[in-house]
Amino acid sequence: MKSTITITQIAQESGVSVATVSRFLNGKVPVSADKKARIEAVVRKYDFTPNALARGLISKRTMTLGVILPDITNPYFATIFQEVQRCAAEEGYSVYLCNTRFHHGDAPIDETGYFRMMMDKKVDGILIIGGQLDMVEITPAYKEALNKLSASLPVVAAGREIPGAGCIFIDSENGSGVTTAYNYLSSLGHKDIAFVGGQPGVTITETRLESYKKAAAASGREVRKDLISLSDYYLPDGYQAAEALISRNAPFTAVITMNDNVALGAIRAFADHGLSVPRDVALISCDRFYFADYTIPRLTSIHHHSRRWGQMVVRTLIQAVQGSTENARITFPPELIIGESCGTHLQH
């Protein structure tokens, strides 16, 4: 039967010092076999389990991590967070989530207040994904807050490196998925290929748009501004961007969308104008989400392996908590998943 006993009482009954019991419970410093056996006997006798607070006092850690991201309803961030939470739990960490809603409303939200919130929670490390971090222009105030944060505890930022910022950066996006998408549509005979979705001024949008322009130029085609319709990353944005594209009366036979959300919005807009995907317009998405196989038509899209990405960034954070401080570019080659939205049959 479990009894209440303190570390001091364990030390007295096993004939060792409190520091030795602490080292044993922490598991970080070796304890002699004789002392270990005596401590284990007392622990078993009283069915002793140190609570999280006690472990934190011993190890100087809370075994908690903070995650700051802009929108948990976005399938991209939701998929990453699920893997972060799962992998963290396997290593004994709990996770605090700050869902900042950065892009919701008329003006971007200042996310630096969440930095202070996480520090107040005494987390061991912080993972930042998206939000202000993803903007092409980083404000001096955000950079200063990021430096103050990283001076206090390990911080891993999932995105491009910000010169002069002191946290660990892990970057993955290089635009190669867009090149794959463009070349695939070209191989099907398409020449007038549009680009739809993505918010201007955000690094991932600008990177993918630049890859689109380079792919068009490499194919010997003019980069036409009337075939580029930016908006944002959600279903309504895909609809609005496709509406804008159609209103220009510019001929196109294929569309590259920013992600699967934008793709579904665009498909709805095309349908409202009597255009069918893939009969009248071929469509390919730059970012595959979990529902791509369940839409009509099934989406052809680029798979960036977000689950693996989530695993890598949280493991990097845990390593940073344990003393590693190395920036990295982690690249999982984007994979073209052929569905039905380009007019080709599903390939398993």
Query: How would DSSP label each residue in 38-59?
Result: HHHHHHHHHT----HHHHHHHH
| Structure confidence at residue 258 (pLDDT) | 97
Q: Is residue 316 part of a domain?
A: yes
- Split at pLDDT 50, 70, 90, the class of 27 is low
pLDDT value for 213: 97
- The verdict on 184 and 166 lying in the same domain is no
SS percent in the chain: helix, strand, coil, step 5: 45, 15, 40
> Does residue 191 sit in the same domain as residue 297?
yes
- Return the bridge partners of 266, or none: none
Same domain, 123 and 214: no
pLDDT at residue 330 in the model: 62
pLDDT of residue 3: 56
**Residues whose CB falls within 8 Å of the CB of residue 294, separated by 6 or more in sequence, listed in order:** none
Contacts of 326 (CB under 8 A, 6+ apart): 168
Sign of the alpha-carbon dihedral angle for 102, 104, 107, 113: negative
| Cβ–Cβ < 8 Å for 327, 168 | yes
Q: Is residue 25 part of a domain?
A: yes
What is the DSSP-derived secondary structure letter of residue 202? Answer: B
For the chain, give the mean pLDDT. Answer: 88
Residues 148 and 96 in one domain: yes
Whether residue 318 has pLDDT greater than 90: yes
Nearest to 251 by CA among 221, 287, 209: 221
Q: 49-61 as b/e, with b when 16 or more CB fall inside 10 Å?
A: ebeeeebbebeeb
Give yes or no for residue 347 having a pLDDT over 50.
no
Does one domain contain both 212 and 269?
Answer: yes
Residues in CB range of 292: below 8 A, 6 or more apart: 260, 285, 298, 299, 301, 337, 339
User: Over the stretch 233-256, which tens digit does the pLDDT of each residue have?
Assistant: 999 999 999 999 999 999 999 999
Question: What CATH number does residue 76 fall under?
Answer: 3.40.50.2300
**Rg, C-alpha atoms of the chain:** 26
For residue 206, count other CB atoms closer than 10 A to its CB. 16
Give residue-wise pLDDT tens across range 328-344. 556 668 999 999 999 86
User: What confidence tier does 327 reach under pLDDT thresholds 50, 70, 90?
Assistant: low
Residue 129 in any domain: the answer is yes
Domain presence at residue 125: yes
Same domain, 194 and 85: no
Q: Quick one: CA dihedral 152, 153, 157, 162, positive or negative?
A: positive
More confident residue, 261 or 53: 261
346 within domain boundaries = no
Q: Is residue 348 part of a domain?
A: no
User: Distance between CA 131 and CA 306 in Å, rounded?
Assistant: 17
Q: What is the pLDDT of residues 257-294, one digit of tens each?
A: 999 999 999 999 999 999 999 999 999 999 999 999 99
- Asked whether residue 189 falls in the same domain as residue 243, the answer is yes
Q: Are the beta carbons of 134 and 102 closer than 8 angstroms?
A: no
127-134 mean pLDDT: 92
Which segment of 73-77, 104-108, 120-124, 293-297 scores lowest on mean pLDDT? 104-108
Angle subtended at Cα 27 by Cα 317 and Cα 53, rounded to the nearest 5 degrees: 70
Q: Are residues 183 and 257 in the same domain?
A: yes
CATH classification at residue 15: 1.10.260.40
- Determine the average pLDDT of the residues in 305-322: 91
Report CA-CA distances (Å) from 177 to 210, 257, 304. 12, 12, 8
The side-by-side arrangement of strands in the sheet containing 300-303 is: 228-229, 193-196, 254-257, 282-285, 300-303, 335-337
Q: 202 and 108 in one domain?
A: no
Range of the domain at 218: 176-303
Same domain, 291 and 315: no
Asked whether residue 2 is domain-assigned, the answer is no
334 found inside a domain: no
- From CA 234, how far away is CA 84, in angstroms rounded? 23
Q: Are residues 118 and 44 in the same domain?
A: no
Residues 298 and 317 in one domain: no
One-character DSSP codes across 85-127: HHHHHHTT-EEEEEE--TTSSSS---THHHHHHHHHTT-SEEE
- Number of structural domains (the chain) is 3
* pLDDT over 70 (residue 72): yes
